[in-house]
Structure 1
């Protein structure tokens, strides 16, 4: 781990202050007259300040914030090092926790009001920005200062599943959960010290760009949400992807991209593939309320993992059932031919997929029409080495070619390998196992072949794993058609 943040913090703290590491944090505590270190035990909860920061401005943020905290005797913590800073704002980070580069613990509400206003005046003319902390309310128009009410050193209890739950103490002495959710909320007995402002209700309709009506959420990550919506101009159903600034950052040799950059690049990839009928058409890309949104044609279908698990299709538990293998093989041929042909055509258009997995392939269970979706990790032929380096590392475990991360650039072989593993999952979805025991791949194929699986199916998968799409298509021709 890099000592950058600790060294900087040590230079900013005077004698009488200590630094100790706990979990991912560097805690800065002052010594009290009693000679003990740490906050008085009776202060368990209150309003705390959070400071957000981009990676490249973190040291400057500390230079401004730390002296003011020291001057007022207010303790705080800072994320431990730059690598943890990147992880804290990563795509898989908890949305309610992300973005909190510094946490400051004023002991009284009035002290919090005075401190945050001072910090605002000190930072407002600086070119500072950071991820929006979703659990907090931003202070005025600051891009880095926010606040919420919560525990400092709160009591905890053990949930039934063994995890710990932080608690707040109500004025009546009741213990209530300290809710850490990706939106601003206050306990019922607490009043916002800066006045009440209306919350957006859960049933309020949102029209992005005053055009795209958000109807429901498909999913969320710290990098942004995905939504079902309607284009109110055309009436067409759409799918909307969101990019949150300064999250999911990718840094290489001093150059960085965040979720918004990645989303705009994905839009460019879709533009490149616009002529392909089984790739969603890109419709719009824009900023709204500081976030970036990409709107694309909405396609419907189930992902291929779910498709192969359907009762009328699934093979592995029922391969001995009379007629099951005979019914499965023609479906396998249809899906395999379409999947390989789609990947081949994407390559002809000058695009490499990078992350090809069952979640990125949709299929209509009745017609067997198929679509490729989610081009977040795809690269264009003309992309530079930095973009390729990101694509090389960005894949789904169990579908990445062994030693792929040793390469500098993606290659067609990487996509064909992933296609082969998708088809392997049609037999038995145990791909992640092979990360631990690569030899198990042959063991499973041996077992299926013994039970009657056509050799052409096995050889098709083997050909794709070797990157030979032409041979795989030739082998499929020997299998029965639907």
Structure 2
């Protein structure tokens, strides 16, 4: 309907034409600037904007839609659930909003999510339903202090209860967003129920309260101590190569991993399936060398919920392609194996390109060998991933009696042959530049030692010759210039902290430069 409307009124517009991208957008995983925006219309001026949005509002079907996604960066039109608008940059590298009739910058677009207009431009529709709303608890008795995790579908905050001066975790879920067939609000309500059911476990937050603000559902739960696994890996000096710290570091990892497995084992003994295990929903407290599970919206009792369909929206990078063939509790074990890998390095992220998990584990073994990671931890991760039906209590026992003997690989991974690398560079350069190939045959360009190969265009002729498998003979001065350009590129990548020059580089030119150097 909106498509036909825009065609009829000759209004420029765009829409999400890929169904998978649309589902991602409606899950709230897109940026705050795009989430919920299925169709975006670009009127040519303020007068046309007012006329178009009024006509859209008057359309019966749009006016009768009672549920929609609130666009956080935009302003609602009157009381509509699907019509929102904003003033901003349409396209181009310049994201500045300028003062009216001036070259002076007023503010940068896409920086502050709050809706705003340039000075001198009056609000076109000063009254809407949101202006009349008043909060019940937020910023009155419940004060959000700091954002912990932010998504368009709902954010997580550290908040303060003014009635008792206690800090806690505040989770917000917004209407309209859904993932895996479950709405963001339904998921948070499920977590509320799970917090109540699992209150006896000390490593799971206590439920405090929940409430609604407008159409949002909010959950308050205990703030657990510690940092997520990514922050744990990055914090402090976790270098097993240091002989002075190795014993201490081994004990930290040993006790923490034992605690992690023990907590999961305790849940499994009570027939509880945890569901989604990742580096963002597990907290580790280095002081107590203990862990907490902070996102349990997908948890359930496997005996009470026989035949229940498992959620398919686990965190990518923490399971392989075989997980759907495993019983629920074994799925937890496999995910925990990849979580343990993520405590040392990011090798688990290779699962995004190789779902078998082979690339992940091969890289982890190489990393462990180079950095002298204890064999005990490598084997623990391997057992959980390759044999998820194992007995967790026996695994805990082996960890308790293990030592810090370094892991050593049986063989080193083979290095890619230089010709394979050259071939891959050729393909990359060609594909990235295919729409820039000129209609007429390229005339050979005279190359000199004064040409700047990083920023210049003369590299194109040389690259095309290579792609055509023609013999290329470069004068010694030009050869020197090629290698000087490679060295300069390396210097800029290493030392140009402000990315002043790097931002100007065309990735195809970088590949072309490397190809010519080879």
TM-score under structure 2 normalisation?
A: 0.66
1:86 partnered with 2:23: yes
1:246 partnered with 2:176: yes
Partners of 2:146 and 2:335 in 1: how far apart? 31
1:325 partnered with 2:246: yes
Partner of 1:357 in structure 2?
278
**CA RMSD, Structure 1 to Structure 2 (Å):** 3.5
1:423 Cα deviation from its structure 2 partner? 2.8
Contact 2:260–2:290 (8 Å) recurs in 1:
no
1:69 Cα deviation from its structure 2 partner? 4.6
Partner of 1:306 in structure 2?
231
Partners of 1:315 and 1:464 in 2: how far apart? 24
Partners of 1:197 and 1:119 in 2: how far apart? 16
1:442 Cα deviation from its structure 2 partner? 5.2
Q: Secondary structure at the match of 1:183?
A: coil
Q: Secondary structure at the match of 1:363?
A: strand
Per-residue Cα deviation, 1:325-353 (whole angstroms, up to 9, x for no partner) = 33233323211221111111222344322
Partners of 2:126 and 2:63 in 1: how far apart? 25
Higher RCO structure (Cα 8 Å, ≥6 apart):
1
Q: Aligned runs of 1:362-441 on 2, under 5 Å?
A: 362-381=283-302, 382=304, 387-388=309-310, 391-397=311-317, 399-404=318-323, 406-407=324-325, 411-433=328-350, 436=354, 438=358, 441=361
User: Does the C-alpha gap of structure 1 residues 209 and 352 become closer, same or farther in structure 2, counting only changes over 3 Å?
Assistant: farther
In the alignment, structure 2 segments of 5+ residues that lack a partner are 405-518
User: Does the C-alpha gap of structure 1 residues 261 and 83 become closer, same or farther in structure 2, counting only changes over 3 Å?
Assistant: same
Per-residue Cα deviation, 1:19-59 (whole angstroms, up to 9, x for no partner) = xxxxxxxxxxxxxxxxxxxxxxxxxxxxxxxxxxxxxxxxx
User: Does the C-alpha gap of structure 1 residues 192 and 361 become closer, same or farther in structure 2, counting only changes over 3 Å?
Assistant: same
Partners of 2:243 and 2:276 in 1: how far apart? 37
User: Does the C-alpha gap of structure 1 residues 366 and 378 become closer, same or farther in structure 2, counting only changes over 3 Å?
Assistant: same
1:213 partnered with 2:147: no
Contact 1:205–1:214 (8 Å) recurs in 2:
no
Decide which of 90, 94, 101 is 1:165's aligned counterpart: 94
Q: Aligned runs of 1:12-411 on 2, under 5 Å?
A: 62=1, 65-66=2-3, 68-69=5-6, 72-123=9-60, 126-151=64-89, 156=92, 164-166=93-95, 168=97, 170-174=99-103, 176=105, 179-180=109-110, 181-195=112-126, 207-208=137-138, 211-250=141-180, 256-311=181-236, 314-316=238-240, 318=241, 321-381=242-302, 382=304, 387-388=309-310, 391-397=311-317, 399-404=318-323, 406-407=324-325, 411=328
Partner of 1:472 in structure 2?
395
Please identify which structure carries the higher strand content. Answer: 1
Partner of 1:461 in structure 2?
381
In the alignment, structure 1 segments of 5+ residues that lack a partner are 1-61, 157-163, 251-255
Contact 1:284–1:295 (8 Å) recurs in 2:
yes
Contact 2:78–2:128 (8 Å) recurs in 1:
no
